[in-house]
Amino acid sequence: MMKKYPLRKLIIKPTFACNANCKNCIYRRELYNKLRKEDLLTFDDWKRILKEAYQLGVKLFIISGGEPTLYPRLAELIEIGRNYGWVVKLNSNGSMITPEYAETLIKAGLNFITISLYAPSPDINRQMRGANKLWMKTTSSIRIFSQLEKKYPYFRVNTQSILVRENFRSFTELLKLHYELGSNRMTVSYLEGDFEKKNLLTEEEILYFNKNIIPQALDFCKNLDRDVRGVAIRNLQGLFSQGIISLSNWAKGVYQPKSGHRRSCQSAQGLAFILANGDVHPCHIVEYTHEPVMGNLLKNTLTELWYSNQWMNFRKELLDQCELCPVNLHATIPLRFDKSKPLRNFYESKIKNRKIFQGIESLARIYKKL
């Protein structure tokens, strides 16, 4: 009998457009430039697909990109997610945010936004993201959303950064900046898709980071609210931990080595990526490897693809390239703890499904203790 896999986490990319030129997105950009020449999903297509996703059991709805705020009907997509009772998240570089637009998105039903900020200074940010003035726009957008939290108790702004050669020495300053701007938690991501190993930290740089930078960051975290301090310190101490994988594998970007025990991957069981042209990916790494593609929603239904033999085999076998995927290792550094009753009730209502909500799992554990 065929095992039924509920689709719990849906990530959509409604546009291939992006106003940054990040070094770490070379292979993703190459894919997008190719696919943008194809027919793209209409808004009616998206409505049909999201209705089907609801029927398949989606609980967490993430809108990403590209830069999703360049999609003209973003607020309407968010509203659809709200009407289905989903937790709605948005990933953005913050470049298009004004106070008015931010409030429009929140009113539409946005629960969380994660804004990527890679450097504590405009110069380093420009080197990493290839865009002038982006740093100012990004920092401004985090402040805007942070100020709106008081008005909208079910909404929270979080932030994200990657760790690469350009910014690892200034990581403590970056962590402080994320906090000062009003972020509730900072996701620290390891680099994916750097197959030529141009921006991965070397073994020497990793050792330097652990010996010199982490202690500085830990000192800063000692001043955080006691309810998040322990988690923040523990997760910082786990960055580039040789208790997880070897130093040489960290430096090579081999995050799940074949020679060792292959990690179970929740993403492979309950996640689907849908691109702007209707292509469906089974996991994060496919945007860099460009295959396997499960099918296209202009030709098949999501249900047909979700229960196809190809997807079933993927869930069992995974990919050789899984060893290059760091998604299961990214660290969350909680920076604030909000004891407001509406947000607490929101988390408590989701804790029973916390395996689904990988993006809020750390905070969910904290709320459960209250």
pLDDT in tens, 45-72: 999 999 999 999 999 999 999 999 999 9
* pLDDT > 90? residue 28: no
Residue 166 tokens, joined: 């350009």
183, 146 Cβ separation under 8 angstroms: yes
Residue 205 tokens, joined: 């740089």
User: Which DSSP string corresponds to 9-70?
Assistant: EEEE------S---GGGHHHHHHHHHHTTS----HHHHHHHHHHHHHHT--EEEE-SS-GGG
**Rounded Cα gap, residues 105 and 110, in angstroms:** 6
**Rounded Cα gap, residues 168 and 175, in angstroms:** 11
Residues near 188 by Cβ (< 8 Å), separated by ≥ 6? Answer: 160, 161, 162, 163, 235, 239, 330, 331, 332, 333
Is the pTM of the predicted complex or chain greater than 0.75? yes
Is the pLDDT higher at 36 or at 331?
331
139, 146 Cβ separation under 8 angstroms: no
Tell me, what's the pLDDT at 359? Answer: 43
Tell me, what's the pLDDT at 354? Answer: 40
Is the pLDDT higher at 357 or at 54?
54
CATH 3.40.50.2300, domain 9-257+269-336, yes or no:
no
* pLDDT > 80? residue 115: yes
Hey, how many other C-beta atoms are within 10 angstroms of the C-beta on 135?
A: 22
**Averaged confidence pLDDT in the chain:** 90
* pLDDT > 50? residue 362: no
pLDDT band at 196 (very low <50, low <70, confident <90, very high): confident
Nearest to 330 by CA among 169, 92, 161, 145: 161
User: Which DSSP string corresponds to 128-145?
Assistant: HH--TTHHHHHHHHHHHH
Tell me, what's the pLDDT at 35? Answer: 86
Ranges of each domain in the chain: 9-257+269-336
Condensed to tens digits (0 to 9), the pLDDT of residues 84-96 reads 999 999 999 999 9
Query: Among 155-159, 239-243, 320-324, where is mean pLDDT lowest?
Result: 320-324
pLDDT band at 352 (very low <50, low <70, confident <90, very high): very low
Kindly report the backbone phi and psi dihedral angles of residue 23, in degrees, each rounded to the nearest multiple of 5, phi listed first: -60, -35
Residues pairing with 114 in the sheet: 91, 158
Task: Identify residue 283 by its one-letter amino acid code.
Answer: C
Tell me, what's the pLDDT at 344? Answer: 54
* pLDDT > 50? residue 351: no
Tell me, what's the pLDDT at 355? Answer: 42
Tell me, what's the pLDDT at 364? Answer: 47
Condensed to tens digits (0 to 9), the pLDDT of residues 248-302 reads 999 999 998 876 555 567 677 899 999 999 999 999 999 988 999 999 999 999 9
Condensed to tens digits (0 to 9), the pLDDT of residues 127-166 reads 999 988 999 999 999 999 999 999 999 999 999 999 999 9
Of the chain, the percentage scoring pLDDT greater than 70 comes to: 88
